[in-house]
Amino acid sequence: MASLQFTKVAHSNRNSFADLAVTRRATPPTRSTRVGFKVLASKSETEPDLSVCVNGFQMPNPFVIGSGPPGTNYTVMKRAFDEGWGAVIAKTVSLDAAKVINVTPRYARLRAGASGSAKGQIIGWENIELISDRPLETMLKEFKQLKEEYPDRILIASIMEEYNKAGWEELIDRVEQTGIDAIEVNFSCPHGMPERKMGMAMGQDCALLEEVCGWINAKATVPVWAKMTPNITDITVPARVALSTGCEGIAAINTIQSVMGISLDTLRPEPCVEGYSTPGGYSCKAVHPIALAKVMSIAQMMKSEFNKKDYSLSGIGGVETGGDAAEFVLLGANTVQVCTGVMMHGYGLVKKLCAELKDFMKKHNFKTIEDFRGASLPYFTTHTELVRRQKEAIRQRKAVKKGLDSDKDWTGDGFVKETESMISN
């Protein structure tokens, strides 16, 4: 097992980890700088290095607790750090938690197999859960406590607010005072409070998004990630807006708006609350291919339009194995978030993820995450280009003659080779 030693890495304009006075750019997109912690590991030459550097801070591995129930209070976030997660994103907070009222039941599952048998594998998970219903003061106190107890670990605050500049500025100021390392902005929750222009309602409106991102990035002194909704025609459009207005990173995807199903016994929708339901957010294994496509599109856009190393991409969607994570990294993700997977398998899942990712890296002789990050992106193209490539490949195969069409094609000079061309073994 690697022995870890944490060393503070000082960046240009911060004197200590607790000092939040980081100079942000006056006009986007000049990048901000900050203090991170570098992890030095003593390990054998054959052991892959899972550590990643993201927006100026170092993580021991790319696995991040995604915003949601796994980051809802001090106890569970502490558990995540103790188990070895690379970073934790807390459950989304807003200024007035009194407006947030959750219901129960608020989850529903989809199983593989005939008629959704209870023995079938869980492949889909819907939730109608809202953001944190705990008082902001309580969450802030716990953020501060976590940073005091784990100063070398990365804690990210997820925030969401109404269309109100002063509200955003106050929320940013208050979460930053706790010592958090970065901010993820929830522009993507697919359910709850759209009438207040929160979550997905803001992420789908690029004019609104541009204005709010401007407020956020003018105020924030730590890196900002914009969490994108997949419930949009072209996810690269809002992602481009977020980066152009100063965000340091993109996180994708949040859950997909869904109706889990209708009970054929009661004729009521699931999850059923007093006989009624509401569309919710779909996650788990079934969304993984959709998430890969969205991340691929964003990564291609970022590579062509924002080709700088200090922009980051965090992949989210259906991660339960190291192979699932490797696919996101191969498409350009710097980090990989897990939320539903933790709810199903527990915080110890990170050990399995790390072990399986290392096995993948050993198989291909990759020493670091950067060795294969984005390696699969060049192999995506248009359907028109696929047709052209296949025609060319067929032409080339025909050019290499395989056998004879007729007895008249035999020649004296090439008789032996012509004979061999028609032997099957």
Q: Exactly one of 189, 247, 339, 354 is catalytic; which is it?
A: 189
Cα–Cα nearest to 22, from 13, 35, 31: 13
The C-alpha atoms of residue 203 and residue 185 are separated, in whole angstroms, by 10
The C-alpha atoms of residue 246 and residue 218 are separated, in whole angstroms, by 8
Cα–Cα nearest to 81, from 7, 148, 8, 172: 148
Would residue 272 show up in a list of annotated catalytic residues for this protein? no
Interstrand relation of 122-127 and 280-283 (parallel, antiparallel or unpaired): antiparallel
Burial class (CB in 10 A: 0-12, 13-18, 19+), 117: exposed
Asked if 278 and 260 count as a contact pair (C-beta separation under 8 A), the reply is: no
Residue 263 CA, distance from chain mean position: 32
**CA 198, 172, 23 angle in degrees (round to 5)?**
135
The C-alpha atoms of residue 388 and residue 125 are separated, in whole angstroms, by 40
Interstrand relation of 63-65 and 87-89 (parallel, antiparallel or unpaired): parallel
Neighbours of 18 (CB within 10 A): 11
Structure tokens at 214: 């401007």
The C-alpha atoms of residue 372 and residue 365 are separated, in whole angstroms, by 10
Asked if 90 and 71 count as a contact pair (C-beta separation under 8 A), the reply is: yes
Cα–Cα nearest to 6, from 39, 43, 54, 51: 39
The C-alpha atoms of residue 195 and residue 190 are separated, in whole angstroms, by 12
Interstrand relation of 335-338 and 256-258 (parallel, antiparallel or unpaired): unpaired
132's enclosing H/E stretch is: none
Structure tokens at 27: 């006009």
Residues with Cβ < 8 Å from 137, sequence gap 6 or more? none
| Residues designated as active site | 189
